Amino acid sequence: MQLNKFLLSLLITSTSIAGLAQSAKVEATRSSAIGIETLIHLDLLPQIKSQIFTGMFSSYDRTGGNDDGFSGKYSYLRKEGDNLIIAEMEGPGVIYRMHMPGPQDGIIEFYLDGEITPRISMKVAEMVDGKHSPFLAPLVGGGVGGRYVYVPVTYQHSCKVIVKAPIFCFYDINYATYPKGTIIPSFQNPPSKEWMQKVSKISKILGAAGTNISKYLVSENYPIETIKVTKSLASSKPAEIFKSNKPGRIIGLRLGPAKLFAGKERNIVINMYWDNDSKPAVSCPVGDFFGYSFGEPAVKSLFLGTENEMNYLYLPMPYSKSARIEIVSDGSNTNTAQIQAEVDFTDEAMHSDEGHFYAYWHRENPCTTGIPFPYLKTEGTGHVIGVFLQAQGKEPGGTPFFEGDDVVTLDGKMTIHGTGSEDSFNGGWYDVPARWEERTSFPLSGCLDYKKYLGRTGGYRWMIGDTYAFNHRIDYTIEHGPEGNQVSTDYTSITFFYTSVRPSVDFTLPDVKSRRITDPDKIIFVPGWNVPIHSSPLSNGIIEKKGEKIGNDWVRYFSLKTFGPDEFGPHHVSFIFDIPTAGKYHVTLKALKGPDQGIIQMFQHDSPLGEPIDLYSNDQMISSDLSLGTIDMIEGNNVVYFKLIAQNPESKGLNMKLIEIIFTSAK
């Protein structure tokens, strides 16, 4: 018996030593991904990027103004003859991201390692269309007004980027510089067969957005386990959906039903804890955490989003001792809801060169005048991998706050300065048709929303090779307004990052009332811009959207001009008004009065509301706010009619020119 115990002890000891030796071997052979490998080895996302300098060249206005590329004055470092030098850096390094709101003209050239002949020379338009080698989709793409390029341009000694054009406007170029002695083979053009095979693999990865990508987030030889749980969620009682008391890593989380976490309350919270820390590494309203936009599911990105009524998160979240995830309802609702959760995990322990995963939720309502909104200000060593922003202006009818730039100070030095808020999310030209005008989701970036009438928008971006790495501290901000952070706003963000030590920011959430989504009491629709038209005259009427100078003011308006009777009653136009909160609203109108304008009245269905308004005037002029009456509106889309019911005897026509239609809550 004693001999058997001895042999068993010897076997256990030998097995343990073998396991330690295997673990040590893994640590010893572990290396960092550089260049195109960063887009393949997503399992290395938690790896701390120590000693890497991250920076960006851009066209931002150096004076602090808003000429971030409009004139081209700041869109180059210097000139060489007629050529514009837009970026220049020493190696070893990699250009990881380029962003350009289109369109852009000219020839772009990349000179590597002091060569006098460009390694790459092509039209800017061809570089960003995803069809011309080596700048191929899916490493190149675009939408929502911007073009993004994630082709990693590597260089051993130096890189200089030149544009041959009389003027070049907006651009961002993110790069990373590695320690001296790092061997980085310079970019080949044409690309090698091996490089093209890697592009094919990346295409498969990025094409999997919205599906389970956990297999790309774990090292080889570590089997993936999945647990599925159904939990009752009652008010103020945590529902634990995962717990482990041994080393490992979570690589996937699915949580539903998605509609349970929708709405304006933000009263259901997800908490994550690592390695017996009593403070959470994640404490966020569930909807915001999964990319909801003002309470609605909005994202289907590579790492996070909503698909088929299930929210998903696929990121490596390593731990060395323990992990726990819980869902908590902070609401006063006493009803019990059922949640379904699935967690993918492995027993791959946290490596010594990795950081813990954190998600920091932050809101300022309103943002501080004169000071940019902070995404993340913390001490430590780590890197940011993603940011989501929901932005609500205090003045409806426009989004001037989105002229603000993203600015990043790393280890005490400002190294990132963007050219506009939507640019930082790979977009451009907000409020322009077919550009940054509606909710759009791509694997690594997207527009969360754009509703000018509410003064509401938002965006997101994931960072892989273009991550913002810091060794001591990071100060990552976004401005609210074109200059001086003067535009009053309500900003809510989540910043996703890894650090080697606990961040110095406070993860404590404010109370439920302070978290709630705030809809504006006043909504301004501009029919001469982008309000959807539901119907217009069937005959003898012309509708137009026009701009005109009236006195000292430039006015954009919607025009209905008639030249005979319509087929089914008075001439009309009806618009579709998206209302965020159901209720009773006072409706007022700003219009152009003039010698050929008619008498209009507001209708809902076929019922008149309020009193008729006579738009006749001897001279063309901008009206004051004209009261049209009170109307009951549902949440969502509402159709309201405006009819030309009569003509002033002195008027020369039966027309209408509408500038603004304003809904003010009557609560």
Tell me the pLDDT tens digit for each residue of 156-215: 999 999 999 999 999 999 999 999 999 999 999 999 999 999 999 999 999 999 999 999
Instruction: Give per-residue pLDDT as tens, 150-160.
Output: 999 999 999 99
Q: Which two tokens stand for residue 27?
A: 């640590």
Query: What span, in angstroms and rounded, lies between the C-alpha atoms of 638 and 66?
Result: 37
Lowest mean pLDDT among 54-58, 96-100, 232-236, 551-555: 232-236
Main-chain phi, psi angles of 215, to 5 degrees? -65, -20
Q: Which two tokens stand for residue 225?
A: 């386990």
* pLDDT score of 30 more than 80: no
- pLDDT at position 64 is 93
What mean pLDDT, rounded, does the chain reach? 93
Please name every residue paired with 459 in a beta bridge, in sequence order, or none if there are none: 389, 447
**If you ran DSSP here, which 8-state letter would residue 623 be given?**
-
What's the average model confidence in pLDDT over 515-532? 94
Instruction: Give per-residue pLDDT as tens, 128-145.
Output: 999 999 999 999 999 999
Question: pLDDT-derived band of residue 399, with 50, 70 and 90 as boundaries?
Answer: very high
Instruction: Give per-residue pLDDT as tens, 305-352.
Output: 999 999 999 999 999 999 999 999 987 655 678 999 999 999 999 999
Q: What share of the chain is helix, strand, coil (3-state, %, to 5)?
A: 10, 45, 40
* pLDDT score of 76 more than 70: yes
* pLDDT score of 27 more than 70: no
Q: Which parts of 406-535 fold into alpha helices (H)?
A: 421-424, 512-515
Residues 6 or more apart whose CB falls under 8 angstroms from that of 183 comprise 92, 156
Residues 6 or more apart whose CB falls under 8 angstroms from that of 72 comprise 59, 167, 168, 169
* pLDDT score of 526 more than 90: yes
Assign a CATH topology to domain 53-206: Jelly Rolls (2.60.120)
Q: What residue type is assigned to position 83 of the chain?
A: N
Main-chain phi, psi angles of 524, to 5 degrees? -115, 115
Please name every residue paired with 317 in a beta bridge, in sequence order, or none if there are none: 250
- pLDDT at position 335 is 65
What's the average model confidence in pLDDT over 83-105? 93
Higher-pLDDT residue of 234 and 564 is: 564
- pLDDT at position 333 is 58
Q: How many residues does the chain have?
A: 667
User: For the sheet containing 599-604, what is the strand order?
Assistant: 533-535, 571-579, 636-646, 599-604, 607-614
- Residue 529: CA count within 13 A, CB half-sphere: 17
Sign of CA dihedral 265, 267, 268, 272: positive
Query: What span, in angstroms and rounded, lies between the C-alpha atoms of 399 and 359?
Result: 27
Q: Where in the chain is the domain with CATH 2.60.120.1390?
A: 212-354
pTM for this one? Answer: 0.92
Q: Which two tokens stand for residue 624?
A: 């004051």
* pLDDT score of 17 more than 60: no
Q: What DSSP string describes 552-581?
A: TEEEEEEEEEESS-BTTBSEEEEEEEEESS
Query: What span, in angstroms and rounded, lies between the C-alpha atoms of 494 and 362?
Result: 6
Q: Which two tokens stand for residue 3?
A: 């001999």
Query: What span, in angstroms and rounded, lies between the C-alpha atoms of 144 and 218?
Result: 33
CA dihedral 108, 112, 114, 115 (to 10 degrees): -70
Whose CA is closest to 363, among 445, 255, 283?
A: 283
SS3 assignment for 312-378: EECCCEEECCCEEEEEEECCCCCCCEEEEEEEEEECCCCCCCECEEEEEEEEECCCCCCCCEEEEEE
Higher-pLDDT residue of 25 and 235 is: 235
Query: What span, in angstroms and rounded, lies between the C-alpha atoms of 108 and 126?
Result: 10
Query: What span, in angstroms and rounded, lies between the C-alpha atoms of 380 and 471?
Result: 6
Q: What DSSP string describes 162-187?
A: EEESS-----EEEEEEPPTT---PPP
Query: What span, in angstroms and rounded, lies between the C-alpha atoms of 140 and 148?
Result: 6
- pLDDT at position 330 is 86
- pLDDT at position 332 is 62
In CATH, what number does 212-354 get? 2.60.120.1390
User: For the sheet containing 107-112, what is the strand order?
Assistant: 78-80, 83-90, 158-164, 107-112, 120-123
Lowest mean pLDDT among 181-190, 328-337, 545-554, 644-653: 328-337
Q: Where in the chain is the domain with CATH 2.60.120.260?
A: 524-665
Question: pLDDT-derived band of residue 223, with 50, 70 and 90 as boundaries?
Answer: very high
Query: What span, in angstroms and rounded, lies between the C-alpha atoms of 327 and 254?
Result: 13
* pLDDT score of 61 more than 80: yes
Residues 6 or more apart whose CB falls under 8 angstroms from that of 434 comprise none
Lowest mean pLDDT among 10-19, 604-613, 646-655: 10-19
The CB density around residue 222, as the number of other CB atoms within 10 Å, is 16
- pLDDT at position 352 is 95
For domain 524-665, the CATH superfamily is: Galactose-binding domain-like (2.60.120.260)
- pLDDT at position 23 is 39
Instruction: Give per-residue pLDDT as tens, 297-316.
Output: 999 999 999 999 999 999 99
* pLDDT score of 578 more than 60: yes
